[in-house]
A and B are shown apart, each in its own frame.
Chain A
């Protein structure tokens, strides 16, 4: 097994764990944690292909990961603000109990 295979396997398992968390958790913050894990699995893929790819001098993977980290930070900030607004409105972050569209 080459190092590229090993890194991609770690990334796939990390994505699976994050997907399980995002689908199965009932707490909104737990779902957000799962989404962050999936983001990071994708970033690990970019770095792995940059490191073991044929043209590492182009730095494409590095720059893609930097932009992706910035977007993930913005997503986390907006998502947590939404969760706080939801908590203020419904007094809960339990997603099964947030079941009204109006008021």
Chain B
């Protein structure tokens, strides 16, 4: 356990706590981006360079921005207070999460299977990752492509207002505006 590991894990955990506990949602999204950047640093520390940079690109670059967009698009509703620590759901939620985390931590600390292995420093060169993706995991890669296409089309369709549905929404409104006889 070295100093850079301590700093990176502290950044990650503090960012995560801020992301779930801050009141303002935009601050939450920024804290989430900080936590994800700290995780990318942890991946680099663990010598998984490709995964670390993929994490930076996908999470810090795309998912955090997507969350900020969603916050700004749904802005009208965040004037109401969102979960100050005294609301009903906070105590059982945090208690349950603390119980689950405590169980896992106790299991980790008491485990004997996690014996210190030989401290080799493995390498994951991009060439080897690409070869594996193109040979052994090619079916999974194709499935991920299909999944991403389906998710893209599905997200567009879900978030889109269909013109027919909009006209169907307008009709009953105009009808209700007319006093029925």
Contacts and interface: CB of A to CB of B under 8 A. Distances in A.
Interface residues of B, number: 82
Interface string B118-155: 00101010001100110001001000100110011011
If over half of A's interface residues share one DSSP class (helix, strand or loop), that class is named, otherwise mixed; here it is helix
B67 A37 contact: no
Contacts of A70: 58, 144, 147-148
Q: Which of B20, B78, B96, B122 has the most CB of A within 10 A?
A: B20
B128 to A, nearest CB: 6
A53 to B, nearest CB: 7
Contacts of B42: 7, 10, 44, 47
A5 B102 CA distance: 14
Contacts, number: 244
Interface string A35-79: 011001001100110111110110101110111011111111110
B29 A2 contact: no
Contacts of A23: 89, 92-94, 96-97
A74 B158 CA distance: 13
Contacts of A47: 42-43, 46, 48, 51
Interface of B: 1, 5, 9, 12-13, 16-17, 19-21, 25, 28-29, 32, 35-36, 39, 42-43, 46-48, 50-51, 54-55, 58-59, 62-63, 66-67, 69-71, 73-74, 76-78, 80, 82-83, 87, 89-90, 92-94, 96-98, 100-102, 104-105, 108-109, 114, 116-117, 120, 122, 124, 128-129, 132-133, 137, 140, 144, 147-148, 151-152, 154-156, 158-159, 161
Interface of A: 1-10, 12-21, 23-27, 29-30, 32-34, 36-37, 40, 43-44, 47-48, 50-54, 56-57, 59, 61-63, 65-67, 69-78, 80-85, 87-88, 91-94
29 contacts: A4-B116, A4-B117, A5-B109, A8-B114, A12-B108, A14-B13, A16-B98, A17-B97, A19-B97, A23-B94, A23-B97, A30-B28, A32-B67, A40-B35, A40-B36, A44-B43, A47-B48, A56-B120, A61-B48, A63-B129, A66-B54, A70-B58, A74-B148, A75-B151, A76-B67, A85-B158, A87-B74, A92-B77, A93-B74
